[in-house]
Structure 1
Amino acid sequence: MSVAFGGASRPVDACACADLARAQHWGCRFARKHLHVATIALVVTLGIVLRVWGVLVDRSLWSDESALIRNILTRSFAGLLLPLEDDQSAPLAWLWAQKVLSGLIPDFEFALRLLPLASGVVALIVFAWFCVRFLRRTDALFAITALALLPTYLLYAGEVKQYMTDLLFSAILTLFTFQALEGKQWRWHQALALAFTGVIAILFSNPAVFVLGGVGSALFLHSLNERRHRDAIVIAGIALLWLAVFAALYVLVYGRQPDAVAAMRGYWQHLFAPVPPLNVKDVFWYYKALLAPAESALYYGRIYQPGQVAGSALACLVFLLGACSLARRQPLQAVALLLPLVLALLASALKAYPFGSRFLMFAAPQILVCIAVGVSQLLRMPDLPRPVTAAVPILLLAMPLGVTALEYARADGKPFETADNHSAMQTLAANYRPGDTIYVYSECLPDFRLQRERYGLADAKVLAGHHAPDALAYFYYDIERMRQHRRVWLLYCTHMKRDNNQVYLNSMELLLKSYGTQKHVSGDLKRNWSVTLYEFDAEKTSPNPVMFAKPDYSYAPSHPILNLRNDEN
């Protein structure tokens, strides 16, 4: 072989050409590896920034948050052992940690969002480390992008709920398990670390017991397969410790809350498995349960996403493909990833744990890994057209990523805020006069009860509104209740679909104007809030005494937080 230089040519050693080709090959691999690492670092950084942004913008609380926060702020540590008001529930250690934070930082909303934020950030970092360590590059990038940027995880990283802590411990335990399955022999410090992490997980996360079931089973089977019977005995002992801690917690705390359990079973009855399935509806439940893991991992949120049904079906197929691939190639890893979902489904059949919605967020690491592996399997199928397989990950992520982009591009700068309760309360406090009465629409009640003292409304006369969609007759009765007072402020905030807002307010306005005069109106229905002042003429009689009379049936709202209190009448 010869190479020309400036018109002349000279022979080149074949070994030198081989060395050059080898150097180029390794240089390309080195460049691709560093590009992959840089891309993942960028995605993780963006995910952290978006999570921090979601907390710093100080979006308004929504009903469930307010109800739970009120329990945390008004109770002692011992009081948090008792059933919570408004049928709220959360792990004991999580409640105590939030109680400590609320005492350290004066702004309780910011303080109580720190734990979910920290859990979300650390969970993302741990999961990214897991994916880089154990998955192929394309699989890792898909899974990390989903956890970092999808709206579900961004939403709950800034919400005063325990779901991010569930996800954090699930990610930590999954990482620990995969590392242990690679090891040749257990050491005492590994056993102690596993035992301690499992105990802490049980205290901070109710569904952690499902994850630990998968962890313990996988490690126990691995020890037997490797004929390390001593390690198997150690793992069995650790599992017994976990069961003892969970049993003690159940007997001392959770088992003493029958009313909360009954309320949970009533409100979430559609997420409990019908056993045995007796009709077509029951059989269809299991079809929806098949879709539930993939749907909860990619599409769940309080924001409906167009095409969600079709996307969930596609995600389910990819999830099943990935699960089967893992079960065939790495059966013990598949046990660690899939057994928690099986245990959660069994708990659902026992009416002990809802299967679906945000209750499956604890299994997001396991589900996303299976979906990522399924995507990888599709991309390597030679019989399918390359454009078709390449479109699958785009189709799975495009819609939820679009929702994320729209939420963070909102004009008010508050992603995922469903109702601007802060503006409503500020407007009411600025215009309220001593002696006025405040009619609080039902969905505002939890936040109003929490915030009224903060805004100087602790001594105000309050009329708690009935939830109109649950009892239309009580809607008319509320008009009659308001008419008995001279000056009444109508405080309206809602998490309903925005199309319903104007209908409700127009109906209320039409009826109230027959009694009195509308004096002051403030609000923004696009942000789901309104504050209106009415002055009533006591001499005007009811146009229809029968319609506006108190209904002869009891008020039973669809959610316990909408119940009225004795001092709100």
Structure 2
Amino acid sequence: MDTLPDNYADTDKVQPKTWKVINQLAFFAIAYGIIIRLAQYISNRSLWGDEAYIALNIVNRSYLELLQPLDYDQAAPPGFLWVEKLAVQLFGNNEYSLRLFPLIAGIVSLFALYQLGKWSLSAIALPIALILLACLKYPLYYATEVKQYSSDIMVGLLLCLLLIPLRDRILKKSKVFLLGFLGILAMWFSHTAIFSLGGVELACLITSSAQKRKAIVINRLPAYLILLIGFALYYFFIISKSMKNESLQSSWSPEYPKSIFDILWLLDSFGRFFHKPLGFAGIADGIAIFALVIGCIILYKNNQIKLLILISPILATLTATYLHKYPFRTRLILFLTPYFILIIAQGSAFILSQVNLAKFHQERRKKYVGIFGIIISFFLILPPVIEAGGFLFQPETKYEMRSVIAHIKANQQPGDVLFGDGGGTSAQLEYYAKKYGYSKSQYVVGYNDFLKKEAISDQVWSDYRRQFSQLQNQPRVWFLFSGIGLKEKRGEIVEPRLDRIGQKIDYFGQPGAFAYLYHLWLSF
């Protein structure tokens, strides 16, 4: 397939020396993003709840079984699961193997954004966009998490690079069929590929020359039929089964608008998008929204085709959301972040460019606008750069259950039993217990969430006693916990409750996870 032309909107205005500096900044941003992602990857933090859940599916199922609805209320595209399964088989069942594909996807996304940015942005906006994708919290974090969201970004960007050069072109038959099969392949690797694929292709058709549009549709009709049949089969055999999961559906329901006229939901959803999944915090949140508006205006004035293509995946996703087919929710729409970033970068670059214009025209008004652009760029770029740089010295951790279980393994006595609190702790326990040589008879998976019961009624305590009844013949039990806000809950909630059933012997804690060793009373 063809590549995108490097047709910056302001190429003729940029001096060769300036362009060289800009290109160096762009590659510096890519290198910085790669180094930070590698630092996070090498730190090898423990799998947390959701990662452990998906890992258990990958490790315990065959390739064919991964086509069935996943256990533990999980959903992921089969292509992603198969690559993960292959990585485990090749490199062993460990965190490095499970996080390898998301890492590769995160790195490829940086280069893909570079290519898309060269086509869509002014020259000065390109390094800004790359710095943001490299350093913003959630695109960075999910590049080293055992979930499909990093590859969602990669697949969406690669589809843009595939489809945009084909705009307004009549293809050979071989390329038509290749286009159809590549689209199906993309859908197997990313549930969200349909939004990028359908949105960008439709935008390309709408903006193609009126004289050739009919010929283009006829020319690509075989590809469209292949895609339609492939998506129908994929939806029927894969997606529809996940949508029958009532737990998933109930967790997504608040993310849908009440009607097509629910404008308040739309404004609120867009506002929340800048905080998560984009990752702007504090005042940068509002500045990013302002830069997005400016970017839309500039792109609309300079090239409406590029603007429509960049926002087409966003419009396609919102259409599905208003039809209650796909939730507009945090990590589920992480794949949209590159398109927002490109437009934000264009808006920031336009305001920043007023500094040079002020020098050339000697206009005080432009000088003040340029200074304003410097301030905006400062608040947009510097905080994520500093935060991301901190990961080089102190990589992000979540729920470090692996170290807790390693401590238990080193200090256990014959007959000791492990008890995992419900929720994500149980997933971590189930994954790591087997890796540390525990049989299923040596650990118990909890049923209730011991941490979230702020007040225990007689009925609730009766439920706990039934849960703990499995432990009454075990004199020593290690109680494991992980989650948010554990430091406060440990002394106020966990210890007083465990004291009702036994005597504390030992405690060991790590970031986001800890364990108590208790000698249980014969009757409680």
TM-score per shorter chain, which class? 0.7 to 0.9
Structure 1 residue identity aligned to 2:321: S
Matched, 1:431 2:411: yes
Q: Describe the shift of the 1:292–1:487 C-alpha distance in structure 2 as closer, same or farther (beyond 3 A).
A: same
Does residue 407 of the first structure (1) align with residue 396 of the second (2)? no
Greater mean alpha carbon deviation, residues 97-106 or residues 141-150 = 97-106
**Using the alignment, how far apart are the partners of 1:236 and 1:214 within structure 2?**
17
Matches within 5 A, 1:390-469: 390-410=374-394, 415-442=395-422, 443-458=424-439, 459-462=441-444, 464=446, 466-468=448-450
Q: Quick one: distance in 1 between partners of 2:502 and 2:271?
A: 52
Alignment correspondent of 1:370? 343
**Secondary structure of 1:157 counterpart:** helix
Structure 1 residue 531: Cα displacement:
2.1
Aligned with residue 99 of structure 2, among 113, 127, 145: 113
Residue 114 of structure 1 and its aligned partner are, at CA, apart by 1.2
Query: How far apart are 1:463 and its partner, in Å?
Result: 5.2
1:41 is paired with a residue of what secondary structure? helix
Paired residue type of 1:379: L
Q: Which has the higher contact order (CA 8 A, sep 6+)?
A: 2
Q: Per the alignment, in what secondary structure is the counterpart of residue 289 of structure 2?
A: helix
Match of 1:361 in 2: 334
Q: Which residue of 2 aligns with 1:291?
A: 271
Which amino acid in 2 is paired with 1:491? F
Partners in 2 of 1:228 and 1:247 — Cα distance? 25
What CA deviation, in whole Å up to 9, does each residue of 1:214-260 have, x standing for no partner? 22112222434353542232244433322221111011222234432
CA deviations 1:30-70 (Å, max 9, x no partner) are 33222222222222112112212211221111110100110
Q: Which runs of 5+ in 2 are unaligned?
A: 1-11, 355-364
How does 1:72-221 map onto structure 2 within 5 Å? 72-181=58-167, 186=171, 191-221=176-206
Give the match for residue 252 of structure 2. 268
Cα 1:174–1:416 change in 2 (3 A) is same
AA aligned opposite 2:430 = R
Kindly indicate whether the alpha-carbon contact (under 8 Å) linking 1:72 and 1:99 is maintained by their aligned counterparts in 2.
yes
Q: Determine the C-alpha separation between the residues in 2 that align with 1:508 and 1:469.
A: 7
- Higher Cα Rg: structure 1 or 2? 1
**Shift of residue 207, structure 1, vs aligned partner:** 0.9
| CA–CA distance in structure 1, aligned partners of residues 176 and 263 of structure 2 | 43
Give the secondary structure class of the aligned counterpart of 1:231: helix
Decide whether the 8 Å contact of 1:165 with 1:205 is kept in 2.
yes
Residues 476 and 519 in structure 2, CA contact (< 8 A), matched pair in contact too: yes
Is the deviation greater in 465-474 or in 101-110? 465-474
In 1, distance between residues paired with 2:398 and 2:182?
Answer: 36
Cα separation, 2, equivalents of 1:97 and 1:166: 14
Contact 1:216 1:235 in 2 (8 A): no
Which residue of 212, 235, 240 maps to 1:255? 240
The answer to whether the Cα contact below 8 Å between 2:23 and 2:127 also exists between their aligned partners in 1 is no
User: Given the alignment of the two structures, is residue 348 of structure 1 paired with residue 334 of structure 2, yes or no?
Assistant: no
Q: Can you list the C-alpha shifts for 1:380-411, whole angstroms capped at 9, x where unaligned? A: 5656532222211221233333332333332x
| Offset of residue 512 of structure 1 | 3.2
Deviation of the 1:276 alpha carbon: 5.3
Secondary structure of the structure 1 residue equivalent to 2:380:
helix
Contact 1:486 1:537 in 2 (8 A): no
Give the Å deviation of 1:330: 2.1
- 1:523 aligned counterpart, secondary structure: strand
CA distance in 1, matches of 2:465, 2:378: 51
Q: How many correspondences in the alignment?
A: 493
Match of 2:21 among 17, 24, 35: 35
Q: Secondary structure at the match of 1:502?
A: helix
RMSD: 2.7
Match of 1:69 in 2: 55
Q: Offset of 1:211 from its aligned partner?
A: 0.7
Query: Would the aligned equivalents of 2:399 and 2:512 in 1 still touch at CA under 8 Å?
Result: yes
* 1:439 match: secondary structure: strand
Change (3 A) 1:107 1:288: same
Query: Which AA in structure 2 matches 1:390?
Result: I
Cα distance in 2 for residues equivalent to 1:517 and 1:91: 47
Note the C-alpha offset of 1:515: 4.5
> Measured at CA, do residues 199 and 486 of structure 1 come closer, stay the same or move farther in structure 2, by a change above 3 Å?
closer
Superposition deviation, residue 124 in structure 1: 0.9
State the identity %.
23
**What is the deviation of 1:99?**
1.5
Residues 123-143 of structure 1 show CA distances to partners (whole Å, capped at 9, x for unaligned) of: 111211222344222210110
What is the deviation of 1:486? 4.3
Residue type of the alignment partner of 1:428: I
Question: Are the counterparts in 1 of residues 106 and 150 from structure 2 also a CA contact under 8 Å?
Answer: yes
Amino acid at match of 1:449: E
Q: Distance in 1 between matches of 2:169 and 2:447?
A: 64
Q: Give the letter aligned to residue 242 of structure 1.
A: L
Code of the aligned partner of 1:270: P
Opposite residue 464 of structure 2, the aligned amino acid is D
The alpha-carbon distance between structure 1 residues 535 and 30, as it changes in their structure 2 partners (threshold 3 A), is same
The separation in 2 between residues aligned to 1:345 and 1:184, in whole angstroms, is 28
Partner of 1:318: 291
Distance in 2 (alpha carbons) for counterparts of 1:75 and 1:495? 27
Q: Does the C-alpha gap of structure 1 residues 242 and 39 become closer, same or farther in structure 2, counting only changes over 3 Å?
A: same
Alpha-carbon shift at residue 264 of structure 1 (Å): 2.0
Change (3 A) 1:133 1:171: same
1:536 Cα offset (Å): 2.6
SS at match of 1:298: coil
**Residue 494 of structure 2 is aligned with which of 508, 513, 526?**
508
- How far does residue 85 in structure 1 lie from its aligned partner after superposition? 0.6
Deviates more, 1:210-219 or 1:382-391: 382-391
CA distance in 2, matches of 1:333, 1:164: 24
Larger deviation: 401-410 or 99-108? 401-410
Deviation string, structure 1 residues 311-347 (Cα, Å, up to 9, x no partner) = 3333223223322432343222222211211221121
**Contact 1:223–1:232 (CA under 8 A) maintained in structure 2:** no
> Cα gap change, 1:30/1:389 in structure 2, threshold over 3 Å: closer, same or farther?
closer
Query: In structure 1, what is the Cα distance between the partners aligned to 2:518 and 2:443?
Result: 15
8 Å contact 1:216–1:239 — kept in the other structure? no
Question: Offset of 1:88 from its aligned partner?
Answer: 0.2
The answer to whether the 8 Å contact 1:467/1:475 transfers is no
Deviations 1:86-137, CA, capped at 9 Å, x for gaps: 1100011111222222211114322121111111111111211222344222
Q: Which stretch shifts more, 398-407 or 386-395?
A: 398-407
Q: Where is the helix percentage greater, Structure 1 or Structure 2? A: 2
Structure 1 counterpart of 2:27, one-letter code:
A
Q: Distance in 2 between matches of 1:400 and 1:475?
A: 45
Give the TM-score normalised by structure 2.
0.86
Where 1:453 maps in the other structure, the secondary structure is helix
